[in-house]
Chain A
Amino acid sequence: NAGVTQTPKFQVLKTGQSMTLQCAQDMNHEYMSWYRQDPGMGLRLIHYSVGAGITDQGEVPNGYNVSRSTTEDFPLRLLSAAPSQTSVYFCASSSLGGAGLDTEAFFGQGTRLTVV
């Protein structure tokens, strides 16, 4: 059972370059999300999706795009990388509106992105 698969694990970009972080889950979760983790700030929500074809902005969406063409995949695109986007990125999935044990969010292994 793969869970949430996130690639790549590490990436170095030059300012102005674009790239896509891939995220796939095999648990048939409707809800998927992207977070960035910065020192002293915890994890902050970038974008989220409640199902195929539906996406919305989180707390820090500027400079990022997402799409959700299938239930399984939720890629995050950096359009023109900036040094302020240097961070660790996590993809997560969970059952939509789940209760009890279904409240658990499952995370990918993270991507450490450095923009120089």
Chain B
Amino acid sequence: AQTVTQSQPEMSVQEAETVTLSCTYDTSESDYYLFWYKQPPSRQMILVIRQEAYKQQNATENRFSVNFQKAAKSFSLKISDSQLGDAAMYFCAYRSARGNKLVFGAGTILRVKS
């Protein structure tokens, strides 16, 4: 079974600075998808960024980018120019290419200081 590990329960960053959230996963599959979801205090789950395992190029979405290391099974999220609105719980998630089940990590609470 696949597992996702987020080893940082909480992180803090100063406004306008850069922060990196860590995620590692375990799978025996070669084709899969990885996601970062943001959950603000409203509880809504918002997709931040996705990575397809067969693509070597790291995904980017504006201020959000990932460092995808397939051999190391690592998938970190970098947030540049942090804003107060980035404060939220962030979940890393795995999905096999052969199915729709999402496997989530425990989450990282990100606090942004002004």
Mark A residues whose CB is within 8 Å of B.
31, 33, 35, 40-45, 48, 50, 58, 88, 90, 92, 94, 96-100, 103-105, 107, 109-110, 112
Contact = CB atoms under 8 A, between A and B. Distances in A.
Given A40-B9, A42-B91, A94 B50 contact: no
Contact of B43 (A31, A35, A88, A105): A88
B82 to A, nearest CB: 23
6 contacts: A35-B102, A42-B105, A42-B107, A96-B100, A103-B33, A110-B45
Contact of B50 (A40, A92, A103): A103
A29 to B, nearest CB: 9
B104 A44 contact: yes
Contacts of B100: 31, 33, 48, 50, 94, 96-98, 105
Interface of B: 4, 6, 9, 33, 35, 42-45, 47, 50, 52, 91, 95, 97-107
B102 A43 contact: yes
A99 B100 CA distance: 10
Contacts of A41: 106
A26 to B, nearest CB: 17
Given A40-B9, A42-B91, A43-B91, A104 B102 contact: no
Contacts of B99: 97
Contacts of A105: 47, 100, 102
B55 to A, nearest CB: 10
Contact of A58 (B43, B98, B101): B101
A45 B107 contact: no
B45 A90 contact: yes
Nearest to B98: A97
Contacts of A96: 100
Contacts of B106: 40-42
A33 B103 CA distance: 12
Contacts of B101: 33, 45, 48, 58
A99 B103 CA distance: 17
A95 to B, nearest CB: 8
